[in-house]
Amino acid sequence: MSVRIGIIGTGAIGRDHARRIAQVLAGGTVVALADANPAAAEAVRRDIAPGAEVFARGQDLIASPSVDAVLVTTTGATHEPYVLAAIAAGKPCFCEKPLATTATAALRIVEAETALGRRLVQVGFMRRYDAGYGALKDAIARHTGRPLMVHAAHRNQSVPGDFDTPMAIHDTLIHEIDVFRWLLEDDHVSARVLFPRTTSRSHANLRDPQIVILETAKGVVISVEVFVNCAYGYDIQCEVVGENGTARLPEPMAVQTRTGARLQNDILTDWKERFIDAYDIELRDFLQAAARGTVAGPGAWDGYMAAVTADACVSAQALAGEAVPISTPARPALYD
Amino acid sequence: MSVRIGIIGTGAIGRDHARRIAQVLAGGTVVALADANPAAAEAVRRDIAPGAEVFARGQDLIASPSVDAVLVTTTGATHEPYVLAAIAAGKPCFCEKPLATTATAALRIVEAETALGRRLVQVGFMRRYDAGYGALKDAIARHTGRPLMVHAAHRNQSVPGDFDTPMAIHDTLIHEIDVFRWLLEDDHVSARVLFPRTTSRSHANLRDPQIVILETAKGVVISVEVFVNCAYGYDIQCEVVGENGTARLPEPMAVQTRTGARLQNDILTDWKERFIDAYDIELRDFLQAAARGTVAGPGAWDGYMAAVTADACVSAQALAGEAVPISTPARPALYD
Amino acid sequence: MSVRIGIIGTGAIGRDHARRIAQVLAGGTVVALADANPAAAEAVRRDIAPGAEVFARGQDLIASPSVDAVLVTTTGATHEPYVLAAIAAGKPCFCEKPLATTATAALRIVEAETALGRRLVQVGFMRRYDAGYGALKDAIARHTGRPLMVHAAHRNQSVPGDFDTPMAIHDTLIHEIDVFRWLLEDDHVSARVLFPRTTSRSHANLRDPQIVILETAKGVVISVEVFVNCAYGYDIQCEVVGENGTARLPEPMAVQTRTGARLQNDILTDWKERFIDAYDIELRDFLQAAARGTVAGPGAWDGYMAAVTADACVSAQALAGEAVPISTPARPALYD
Amino acid sequence: MSVRIGIIGTGAIGRDHARRIAQVLAGGTVVALADANPAAAEAVRRDIAPGAEVFARGQDLIASPSVDAVLVTTTGATHEPYVLAAIAAGKPCFCEKPLATTATAALRIVEAETALGRRLVQVGFMRRYDAGYGALKDAIARHTGRPLMVHAAHRNQSVPGDFDTPMAIHDTLIHEIDVFRWLLEDDHVSARVLFPRTTSRSHANLRDPQIVILETAKGVVISVEVFVNCAYGYDIQCEVVGENGTARLPEPMAVQTRTGARLQNDILTDWKERFIDAYDIELRDFLQAAARGTVAGPGAWDGYMAAVTADACVSAQALAGEAVPISTPARPALYD
């Protein structure tokens, strides 16, 4: 009953998912590996999945009859053809974000899946599987009443020198873009961006921080501070304000100490630790749905909507606070 | 050595300040009272300040040689002539906010004081005397580094039915407008207003909540949620984000209980309790400075700047997110 | 490479562990089941482990060559013979607490394992696998300096009517008894019990709450409030005070809401949810060690030490605050 | 209507109270000063109370017709005769703790006051005036149900080298001894003391920390950690556990910052700051009651009960955890 998994892309993320399937989670077996760098695939086979077959080409891995489901963990630019091939083969496919590097490409995936009439694509928006966001969604249902506003912050301790202003949308804000659609059960209809003075820790190509303001179809105004050189740690904040009250995303678990005239706890500095449990849970969800020949989590439509919204945010970066409308085709019934 | 105080306006606030001077604070004696309703003045004399003289006209109270300093706690529309008279008489004058109901009138007070060349006017922006804001200002100096962003919330449980959209600026946001100038040692240069969907607890003349975005001369972007029918309590939130980290306004002191499967503490519902200690301290500061023939706290220039900024915010309410510039004359040297 | 697991005892806990191995965790397969009630074993086979063999007798399950490792999840009184049989068979054995119902029986298991010279027994003290306790142990190493005192609370919302005063030690405090030995790397040397006035929610056979005071070999004084009818929820508290400062066990993750004049978050009421992740992790640890033919977690010596300490606490209940010494043989080298 | 105050003892505390009356609080005037060191009294006159008369002898100050009420802020050993003289003179008297250095002497004051039949003595137990303790008392009434247990901690950063084991009762625990009687409306009936291993920061004459366990007439068990070389700050903790739930003393107001991978706030290190507002409020209460010729706060009976309980704690220090009963005469009706 174990789902036979093929992994295309065995860099850091692909290798980590291989470890999850082989050593952490019930329900899957890594049977096939492929990477542009064959040595990387071989290393994963040797260290983690001794029984796996190494394919030279991802397309062959997808086609192999010994593979039930596929993980696409290559660089973003190569996602589209692999995902389309998995759809064509009728095999469940977990694709790391972004689904594709353009909204047009993402829409092609949506159309292929819609044409098939069956959901086969899960996108790696792991925050939907975070226990804290889950509890926040539950609190909206139980406590806050109709949401009116959201204020959020996405802060990274620092980013490499080649990180630029649009990347703060495509690589950073992208998680908020998706998770707020899910949290609020609502769609973004406009975006604007404001630039406070830039931290002296940034450089010419990166205006940091920035404040992105999204408005939803229901009229919720979401303000997100994106600050990728915040210096002090990796910190994700979110408060929802509704008609009856507010709810706040929990802080990560931490021991509070009292030493040296300070009451304190550690703040994480590594983003990988922040959602470490969510990665396990998203992949377990994929394995369980794949065993039934389908997927259940964030899908191709979500990947498309995130891409369209991110494009609007990047456009808005040039417009000094002016709103950019976000328009999309109607949601296909497959995604209801 | 007790400062002899005359109070013009003996409604709820004037009466409460009379009580502070007579029963709580060292350094002052209420020697004179005036009110448009003489019975109100008489009642304060009888209950709180038995030795005080009741004047029919505020101007006569100001002129009285037995009065060293004046409190103006009448309705806002009448502040200007009393404050100008106090300046003309060379007497320290504590004026409840607003300093005047128009920026033009406030500027006339500034000009009168500047012409005299001596500071005599304190405006009742009590938040500058709140221990929490004081600690926050200290944390900016010690911990956060250069401020880049501020996110704040001003939430009232509910407001009367005649409270309208501009009042949420003039009566509510006005405190944030002033306290952020003081906190950041910076001036507002533009304002914009966004309207999320309106709570069902509001009505046709009040778009509630609203998000006011102020930009400062140094480039700090301040977003303030103003929500006057938030339903759950009176709640003032403020977080400053700087180059090195963040600092948050403390919550009011409260006992945490564990009962009925809830870890909880009370939230205040009455705004008067939130800054109750700050009222004492601002008035003590006034009494101590008045004993030296001057004032030390927020002054006429601050009252004027608040009025100009509030006017810009109200203008911005009609402009769907567009920024309204705030322009003022240069600050007179008297206020350096 | 999957460890073949046999489970003896398929009540609630055994069934839940079967689910973990079959559906949640990598590394194990449930191949054998046994229960005094054969229908219960059949039900687990049918619902969770279709390929498993059902044995009439636990001893036969242990002896089966198709079983690599054993879970003993029967009632406490039957643990000893199964654990001894697993040791005799040289098979890793996970035994739910208590290891045995008397200290004498627990010592027999220690002696059997010591005679064999190889660790094969893990006792189900799951708190050692809780992320919060792990972080607390880390904080002791990094922050508090030498521990001097611990104050803890173990509060249950309510207990059944047949729960009596000694059960609050054997069923409730037992977790603290073990986890403090691990946390402090120290042994208990005396116990005393104080009885505050009894809650009106208790009954004649249950003096509730009680305060148990343990002293360790290094001189740490541990006070534990055991309150099994605390009414408000399931709540586990622990603060360690060391020479340099204090550290506190984290609260469970919860969303903080502001509604109805209350800042609040839920408190758990069900003990099963409090350590739900720890159960997964302890069993993963067992599976990983069993694959190497050994065990790594809390062992037979820990089970014995817990039994001896619990007996001392129960003796102390009759002594009005007087200390009862705890004496044990020297720790065998196998457990160093 | 200002109460004319005479202060006997113009060391640090007396001087500070003089400042309060002269510069902070309404309702009192410092008209008389006395000190064993006349220069100290002169300095207070010069700096704070220019109109005051300096007396060579405290008894003469008490007798002076220009003095309405007396503050006794000399060293503890001299309190008794001054307090007795104030009672004899029928003048309200605020006496810093301890009321007297022996329970016998304290009882003589009780008897003098009882004989007079009028309350004239307030003891300086300022915690009863702390807003946090007030809120905690309110939470007991509203939320916790009948108190069953209290756990508290009194931690000082460090103490001078001549501070010894009994002083941790008489100078430190004394505040808890009084405040718990007031908080619980209950009396202590026994005391025991446990000694964890001593911090390496202490010395031969000071066993530090110690755990004092008090039992009340109603059966509440109070455990108080007294740790006067805790190294990290001045920290006062208190949790009450009742039949329906728990309530915790609020932490002092502090700004929370996020910097350098730490979420933190300052902990006070100076005990004088911790209850700084309470000192103002207790003295205001004294001034207001003195204006009516009486006192309202903690009185002679409370000072006596604290002395008796402290003596029992010191006796218990020698008894290795054994309980020492606390017996007192019945409370005179004057103190009902």
A–C interface: beta-carbon pairs under 8 A: 90
Residue B135 has pLDDT above 90, yes or no: yes
d(C-alpha B198, C-alpha B229), whole Å? 10
B208 has a pLDDT exceeding 80: yes
Comparing alpha-carbon positions, the chain B residue that sits nearest to A215 is B196
Per-residue pLDDT tens digits for C188-214: 999 999 999 999 999 999 999 999 999
Question: What pLDDT shows up at residue D98?
Answer: 95
Which stretches within chain D are classed as H helix? 12-19, 38-47, 58-63, 79-89, 103-116, 131-139, 167, 174-184, 271-274, 276-290, 300-316
| A246, B233 contact by CB (below 8 A) | no
The mean per-residue pLDDT over the stretch B126-150 comes to 98
Kindly determine whether residue D148 and residue C199, on different chains, have CB atoms separated by under 8 Å.
Answer: yes
To test the contact with chain D by mutation, choose from C241, C244, C262, C269 the residue with the greatest count of D C-beta atoms within 10 A, namely: C241
Describe the crossing of helices B38-47 and B12-19 by its angle, rounded to 10 degrees. 20
Q: CB contact, 8 Å: A264 with chain D?
A: yes
Q: What is the pLDDT of residues D262-312, one digit of tens each?
A: 999 999 999 999 999 999 999 999 999 999 999 999 999 999 999 999 999
**Band of residue A168 on the pLDDT scale cut at 50, 70, 90:** very high
Of the candidates D154, D156, D216, D135, the one whose C-alpha atom is nearest the C-alpha of residue D180 is D216
- The pLDDT score that the predictor gives to residue A212 is 98
Helix (H, G, I), strand (E, B) or coil at A183: helix
**8 Å CB contact between A123 and A300:** yes
| Coil/strand/helix, residue A34 | strand
Q: Is the Cβ–Cβ distance between C190 and C325 less than 8 Å? A: yes
Q: Which domains does chain A have, with CATH numbers?
A: 3-126+278-299 (3.40.50.720), 128-273+305-335 (3.30.360.10)
Q: How many CB atoms lie within 10 A of CB C42?
A: 15
pLDDT band of C131, cuts 50, 70, 90: very high
The residue to which tokens 């329906």 are assigned: D244
Backbone region of residue D95 per phi and psi (left: phi > 0; alpha: psi in -120 to 50; beta: other values) = beta
Residue B139 — pLDDT band, cuts 50, 70, 90?
very high
Strands D3-8 and D28-34: parallel
CA angle D312, D318, D322 (to 5 degrees): 70
The reply to whether residue D131 touches residue B284, judged by beta carbons under 8 angstroms, is no
The residues, ordered by sequence, that sit 6+ positions from C39 with a Cβ below 8 Å of its Cβ are none
- Tell whether C25 is within 8 A of chain A (Cβ): yes
Q: How many CB pairs under 8 A join A and D?
A: 54
* DSSP character at residue D317: T
Q: What is the pLDDT of residues A25-66, one digit of tens each?
A: 999 999 999 999 999 999 999 999 999 999 999 999 999 999
Report how far residue A329's alpha carbon sits from residue C171's, in angstroms, rounded to the nearest whole number. Answer: 60
Asked if C135 reaches chain A (Cβ–Cβ under 8 Å), the answer is: yes
In sequence order, the 6+-apart residues with CB closer than 8 A to the CB of A274 are A234, A236, A252, A268
Reported as a single tens digit per residue, the pLDDT across B50-84 is 999 999 999 999 999 999 999 999 999 999 999 99
- Is any Cβ of chain A less than 8 angstroms from the Cβ of D254? yes
Q: What is the pLDDT of residues C246-282, one digit of tens each?
A: 999 999 999 999 999 999 999 999 999 999 999 999 9
Q: Does D213 touch chain C (CB under 8 A)?
A: yes
Q: Cβ of C258 under 8 Å from any chain A Cβ?
A: yes
B175 has pLDDT over 80: yes
Q: Which pLDDT band holds residue D140 (cuts at 50, 70, 90)? A: very high
D200 touches chain B (CB under 8 A): no
Q: Tally the C-alpha atoms within 13 A of residue C44's C-alpha that lie toward its C-beta.
A: 32
- Searching chain C, which residue's CA lies closest to the CA of residue A245? C259
pLDDT of residue A68: 98
Judge whether D270 is closer than 8 Å to chain A, CB to CB: no
Smallest Cα–Cα separation from C38: which of C18, C58, C22, C20?
A: C58
Q: What is the mean pLDDT of residues B37-41?
A: 97
Q: What is the pLDDT of residues D176-229, one digit of tens each?
A: 999 999 999 999 999 999 999 999 999 999 999 999 999 999 999 999 999 999
> What mean pLDDT is predicted for residues C58-73?
98
A259 and D CB contact within 8 Å: yes
Would you say residue C1 has pLDDT above 80?
no
The verdict on B256 touching D (C-beta cutoff 8 Å) is: yes
Element (H, E) at B323: none
Hey, how many other C-beta atoms are within 10 angstroms of the C-beta on B294?
Answer: 12
pLDDT, tens digit, 9 for 90 and up, residues C142-182:
999 999 999 999 999 999 999 999 999 999 999 999 999 99
Task: Provide the 3-class DSSP secondary structure of residue B308.
Answer: helix
Give me A27's structure tokens: 């329900």
Q: Are B290 and B21 in contact (CB under 8 A)?
A: no
Q: pLDDT at position A80, please?
A: 97
Cα of A170 vs its chain's centroid, Å: 10
Nearest-by-CA chain B residue for D29: B26
Longest dimension (CA), chain D: 64
- Out of A148, A211, A246, the one facing B199 most closely (by C-beta) is A148
Taking residues D75-94, report their average pLDDT: 97
Element (DSSP H or E) covering residue D22:
none
* Beta strand pairing call for A324-325 and B3-8: unpaired
**Shortest CB distance from C194 goes to which of D195, D199, D221?**
D221
For C203-260, give the DSSP string: BTTB--SEEEEEEETT--EEEEEEETT-SS--EEEEEEEESSEEEEPPPPP--EEEET
- Residue matched to tokens 């037992």: C174
Q: Using CB atoms, which chains have 3+ pairs under 8 A with D?
A: A, B, C
B153 neighbourhood in chain C, CB within 8 Å: none
Distance, CA of B278 to CA of B284 (rounded, Å)? 10
- pTM listed for this prediction: 0.97
Taking Cα atoms as reference points, which of A7, A65, A60 lies closest to residue A33? A7
Sign of CA dihedral B28, B31, B34, B38: positive
Question: Under 8 Å CB-to-CB from A188, ≥6 apart: which residues?
Answer: A177, A180, A181, A214, A215, A216, A217, A222, A305, A309, A312, A326
DSSP string, C158-218: ---TT--TTHIIIIIIHHHHHHHHHHHT--EEEEEEE--PPPTTSBTTB--SEEEEEEETT
**DSSP label at residue A100:** -
**Model pLDDT, residue D1:** 66
Candidates B255, B258, B268, B271, partner chain C, best to mutate (most C CBs within 10 A): B258
Spatial separation of the C-alpha atoms in residues B335 and B107, rounded to whole Å: 13
Question: Virtual CA dihedral for B255, B260, B262, B267, nearest 10 degrees?
Answer: -50
Using the beta-carbon criterion (under 8 Å), do C262 and B266 form an inter-chain contact?
A: yes
SS3 B72: strand
Q: Where does chain A show beta strands of DSSP type E?
A: 3-8, 28-34, 53-55, 69-72, 93-95, 121-123, 147-155, 188-194, 210-216, 221-227, 235-242, 245-248, 256-259, 262-266, 324-325
Position D278 scores a pLDDT of: 97
Chains that touch B (3 or more CB pairs under 8 A): A, C, D
Task: Tell me the two tokens of residue D125.
Answer: 């137990």
Average pLDDT value for chain C:
97
To the nearest whole number, what is the mean pLDDT of chain D?
Answer: 97
- On chain A, the residues whose CB falls within 8 A of the CB of C246 are 257-259
CB of A158 within 8 Å of a chain B CB? The answer is: no
How far A139 CA lies from chain C's nearest CA (Å)? Answer: 7
In A, minimum Cα distance to C145 occurs at A259
Residues of A in contact with B222 (CB under 8 A): none
The radius of gyration of chain D's CA atoms, rounded to the nearest angstrom, is 20
**Angstroms from B256 CA to nearest CA on chain C:** 9
Average of per-residue pLDDT across A114-134: 98
Residues of A in contact with C248 (CB under 8 A): 255-257
User: Quick check: C244 and D227 CB within 8 A?
Assistant: no
Instruction: Flag whether pLDDT at A1 surpasses 70.
Output: no
Give DSSP secondary structure letters for B148-182.
Answer: EEEEEEEE-S---TT--TTHIIIIIIHHHHHHHHH
Distance, in angstroms, between D274 CA and closest chain B CA? 13
A270 interface with D at CB cutoff 8 Å: no
pLDDT > 70? residue C109 = yes
- With CA atoms as reference, the chain D residue closest to C245 would be D232
Å between A298 CA and nearest CA of chain B: 27
Amino acid present at C136: L
